[in-house]
Structure 1
């Protein structure tokens, strides 16, 4: 499909509620990221259909229609696509039957960024092989293992300490740190029972990654559109147990590190987009390229998410067009240029986001909002998730400050002032 044909099917209906006259977009995954994507698509006249595994997911509260299903069930997903007849499918999560995305693409439906990219990025083995062995990007030492004995050999090869991750998981699920061979059996077990796709049965292959002298991590939001590829200002981040807790933009990095980070982002996304083009697909959308910056200044590729990134929520206060607005524009065939990704901050200013994580087993009500937002240059997004089971990210606070420390402190204080009532 060419840019011209894609644009022709993106019908921007102003005030016409008739579904048949609008571009139908199917969101597969309706969490907080999907909610913001749905808002931006709706602003541009699209008819949004939100799907997830549970009712009243955040994006469902915005979309014109919604469906509940197990998106790893190929038959159920095939039926959903046949019923909703979308022009565009946007995966917002990784737990999807990618075989159905390939079928949809072969039937002329635009998959974002492409069916082939979605399959590669949810498989750590395919992704690492492409990035390091084919595109030549620097990474940590790694081995793949499909059995306990291969895990032991892989850990010995990369050395201790090392990290073990299922190849088909995310956000720290099934992940372990090995300090010695005494941790091998628990790590293998955790990879098998903690991965996202555990219900499919069978043995999960794992990746064993060597530790590197890490200084900090960066996210380079990179946008592929009909105008080419552009990269946003670098985003710094803090994680806990493999999950995002804080981010800030622009991250203060020296020019050499920034040049390396931008180069890796361009090459990683460019390589994926080339695969999409070779498969007759666009490859349009936002990519979250995750990088390790080592103590010696070297920059390593870690992973890439073919969708808006958790850490990129900071762009809702740092950029004129957030990552969600950029994603919506790109997938609808609207050119995204260097000007599109510009910051709105004053010289020296920094923006920050802080995840609000709630622990409990019930519904959650937020109070004290006026007090939480009493600081100047702060903002808040409450996701509207129906319940908490264990611990769950339920909101994000946003702030700007004269520097990174002030911005992070303001976002943190806003989060602390927000009161969550369980039950």
Structure 2
């Protein structure tokens, strides 16, 4: 006999950005009450849930925030994990677990975890500062990553020659072999406290050439069955090795020889899963809620091929956001626009995304370019 569901568990979200906003929108269907903490009093979640204005890394602020929450989760990794450990010791369910968040806060620890767990990843060397980078670089090009605080492409530098060494980070980080990859893909996987695991079909990502963030993606990825199975196997292995509860995005390189290597992971809803709202049976946001609330995981099947285009602030524009070409894009069949409730735009700020569904791959790619060239965020 199944237990009775009662939607009285208050879910606290550390971070009030667009990921939290879409998580709340999904949770409305389950009558889930939400409470949100964010340092921006105008954050996207501020008007749609119980909202607390405060710093995510302040110990006392996070402790006070979590007092009346039953379950606590995150939409950004830059949070105070000591406070979360204390809340966990007080009986709060904190998912992902604080230990997982701590590991993922530091790319150095991430890479060491992959190595110790037998998870394929690009060869790397740890570095302590700029001088250490200069001593340890033996070949170019090479990737220099900041250990902590990197986000949305920040904290990554490609050093193409000795002249680029001045761009290296003067802080703890790592040097990583620049992979000559064929594709960049992502698999989103979820796990419950009882150990149930389900993953979404892999998507293929295209990154902005300068900003190192996803510009658009296609679902499903156009990859071989071998690569698809290996990517799914790796994603399941990672979340099992972490013993993590919640949703995990696993970004991977596919090399020209068909090898699959983990690049980075994120323990939360992710940019590479936005299209699941319209194009999968269960969205990544609903799946995350199912996982952290102890509910059965949903069907991850694709209902129709799709693409997702990130809507970024235009270069040279900063101020009150206006959306050029909005009506033109809405007139296209299979298109759904998500705006994130951000009043102010600035260059390359994530202001929304567009999901495009079409069974014809050629037509899907045509619509992606049409959306990219038509819908602009200006001031």
TM-score (norm 1): 0.83
The answer to whether 1:261 aligns with 2:231 is: yes
> Equivalent of 1:251, from 221, 230, 235?
221
Q: Aligned-pair distance for 1:170? A: 2.2
Map of 2:178 onto structure 1: 211
CA offsets per residue over residues 390-415 of structure 1, 9 Å max, x none?
43111111111234342233244235
> Equivalent of 2:350, from 381, 385, 393?
393
CA offsets per residue over residues 104-158 of structure 1, 9 Å max, x none?
11111111121111111111111111112x21011111011112332223322xx
Please give the alpha-carbon distance, in whole angstroms, between the structure 1 residues aligned to 2:112 and 2:81: 19
**Structure 2: unaligned runs, 5 residues or longer:** none
Please give the alpha-carbon distance, in whole angstroms, between the structure 1 residues aligned to 2:75 and 2:280: 21
Please give the alpha-carbon distance, in whole angstroms, between the structure 1 residues aligned to 2:346 and 2:164: 29
Map of 2:143 onto structure 1: 163
Q: Aligned-pair distance for 1:77? A: 2.0
SS in 1 for 2:40: coil
Checking the alignment, whether the CA contact within 8 Å between 1:378 and 1:411 is kept in structure 2 is no
Map of 2:370 onto structure 1: 413
Map of 2:75 onto structure 1: 92
The answer to whether 1:222 aligns with 2:189 is: yes
The answer to whether 1:140 aligns with 2:122 is: yes
> Equivalent of 1:233, from 191, 201, 204?
201
Greater shift in the superposed pair: 72-81 or 117-126: 72-81
1:13-412 map, 5 Å: 22-63=8-49, 65-82=50-67, 85-132=68-115, 134-156=116-138, 159-168=139-148, 169-189=150-170, 204-225=171-192, 226=194, 228-240=196-208, 241-273=211-243, 283-336=244-297, 340-345=299-304, 350-359=305-314, 360-366=317-323, 368-412=325-369
Please give the alpha-carbon distance, in whole angstroms, between the structure 1 residues aligned to 2:6 and 2:137: 53
Q: Aligned-pair distance for 1:367? A: 5.6
CA offsets per residue over residues 300-346 of structure 1, 9 Å max, x none?
11111001110211112220211111111111111115xx111112x
Greater shift in the superposed pair: 251-260 or 357-366: 357-366
Structure 1's consecutive aligned runs of 4 or more residues displaced over 6 angstroms after TM superposition are none
Please give the alpha-carbon distance, in whole angstroms, between the structure 1 residues aligned to 2:373 and 2:347: 19
Please give the alpha-carbon distance, in whole angstroms, between the structure 2 residues aligned to 1:301 and 1:390: 29
1:6-17 map, 5 Å: 11-12=6-7
Go from structure 1 to structure 2 and tell me whether the alpha carbon gap of 1:217 and 1:364 turns closer, same or farther (over 3 Å shift).
same
Q: Aligned-pair distance for 1:284? A: 2.2
Coordinate RMSD, CA, aligned: 1.9
Please give the alpha-carbon distance, in whole angstroms, between the structure 2 residues aligned to 1:117 and 1:104: 15
Please give the alpha-carbon distance, in whole angstroms, between the structure 2 residues aligned to 1:88 and 1:100: 14
CA offsets per residue over residues 74-97 of structure 1, 9 Å max, x none?
232223223xx2111111012111
Please give the alpha-carbon distance, in whole angstroms, between the structure 1 residues aligned to 2:361 and 2:18: 25
SS in 2 for 1:257: helix
CA offsets per residue over residues 202-253 of structure 1, 9 Å max, x none?
xx31111111221110100111124611111111011112211101110111
Structure number having the greater helix percentage: 1
Go from structure 1 to structure 2 and tell me whether the alpha carbon gap of 1:288 and 1:409 turns closer, same or farther (over 3 Å shift).
same
